[in-house]
Amino acid sequence: MTDLAVQLPDDAPHAGPLPGVPRPDFQIVPRAGLPIVAVILAGLVVAIVANKLWPLVFLHVAFGAAWTIMDLFLGFVVGPVMRRLSVPARIELTTRLMPRMVLIMPTVVTVTLAAGWQLGQLMGTVNSSYFLHGWIVASYIVVGCMAIIALGLLAPANVAVLVELRKPRPNPLVIQKLMKRFIYSAGFTGTMQVAILVIMTRIRTG
Amino acid sequence: MSERALPPVTELGMASLALIVAGGIYLVSYLPRQVPLMPAVVLLAASVLLLAVNLFTLSRVKGFAWRRFFEVGKWALLAYVIVAGLIEFALVRDGMGGGPLLVVTLSLLVYAVHVPVLTAFTVAQYE
């Protein structure tokens, strides 16, 4: 998973509030998005219960593509652009984008993996007798590595940056420290997405 | 920013997650064949141990921002319990049962507790 947040310039003050930077009001988890997430997860449950090829392929491919594209685009395109923005512009973008990512990324990841597992059961590709089983196991390992980094480092940093920005006097050093952790994690998961693309296209072509 | 001496909660948490991920990959890699459960059980036990150590060492930190920790942790717990429930549902739906299901269920329990702990800790440590 890759998200974005504020990275302060190297000459940022070492403590105290963000100097003269207005912060828009925002919700860390946008409540308006929760019904949409609920509908998507309900659709996932229906697809798993129905166990039909098309809904499972649709959910796995559509959400998997969204996951990969978001990771690569946010990590390697929007991230570098954001670093060149002024601090107020970065804060504006962060407080509008990152709360949405708090909902979007876990949903996209859950749907991709659950639909993918059910699809593998239906098609028999998760069976150890499948002729490309080694590639399937490789995908488990890559996704496992991404999950550990995303769950342990990236997502907590995402939430922590938002909580810090909601404080009356956000600490620039805290934000900078969390962002350093965040950017390294995002680079790692973005690179892993390239490996997922290689594995999935190899499996698809047989 | 003053740095407080805090236990390595994130590092231990990630190690714990890595252990259950490894156990899960081991189990599903051999499907639909039966495999010895012992390696997965050992990995799960080690993961549970790390979770227990993490909670114990964190509980001994003086002046920790527990209010913020629980404020964030309860919502994160709700979210990850839902995700873990979906995974469990898919596995039960596919006919997994017996020992493998027990190991995976306990692994999901560790996941559903440890990830919110990591999120809540990351937020609360800067209060």
Residues A163, B72: C-beta atoms closer than 8 Å: yes
Helix B9-29 crosses helix B98-124 at what angle (to 10 degrees)? 160
Question: Are A172 and A21 a contacting pair, CB within 8 Å?
Answer: no
User: Per-residue pLDDT tens for B39-74?
Assistant: 999 999 999 999 999 999 999 998 899 999 999 999
Structure-token pair, residue A193? 């997405």
- Give the whole-angstrom CA distance, residue A88 versus residue B85: 40
Closest residue in A to B3 (Cα–Cα)? A174
Question: Are A32 and A102 a contacting pair, CB within 8 Å?
Answer: no
Query: Alpha helix (H) ranges present in chain B?
Result: 9-29, 38-59, 66-93, 98-124
CA–CA min distance A75, chain B (Å) = 21
This prediction's pTM = 0.85
Q: What angle do CA A83, A89, A92 make, to 5 degrees?
A: 115
Structure-token pair, residue A141? 């390992």
**Max Cα–Cα distance, chain B, nearest Å:** 54
User: Per-residue pLDDT tens for A48-92?
Assistant: 999 999 999 999 999 999 988 888 887 788 777 877 888 788 788
User: Per-residue pLDDT tens for A127-156?
Assistant: 989 899 999 999 999 999 999 998 999 899
pLDDT for A13 beyond 50: no
Residues A157, B122: C-beta atoms closer than 8 Å: yes
Closest residue in A to B17 (Cα–Cα)? A148
Residues B122, A160: C-beta atoms closer than 8 Å: yes
Which residues of B fall within a CB distance of 8 Å from A141?
A: 25
* CB half-sphere exposure, A124, CA atoms < 13 A: 3
Q: How confident is the model at residue A28 (pLDDT cuts 50, 70, 90)?
A: confident
ipTM of the complex in this document: 0.90
* Bigger pLDDT: A14 vs B51: B51
Which of A121, A155, A171 is nearest residue B94 as measured by Cβ atoms? Answer: A121
pLDDT of residue A189: 87
Which residues of A fall within a CB distance of 8 Å from B68?
A: 163
Q: Which residues, other chains included, contact B65 with Cβ-Cβ below 8 Å and sequence gap of 6+?
A: B124, B125, B127
- Give the whole-angstrom CA distance, residue B32 versus residue B50: 30
pLDDT of residue A3: 43
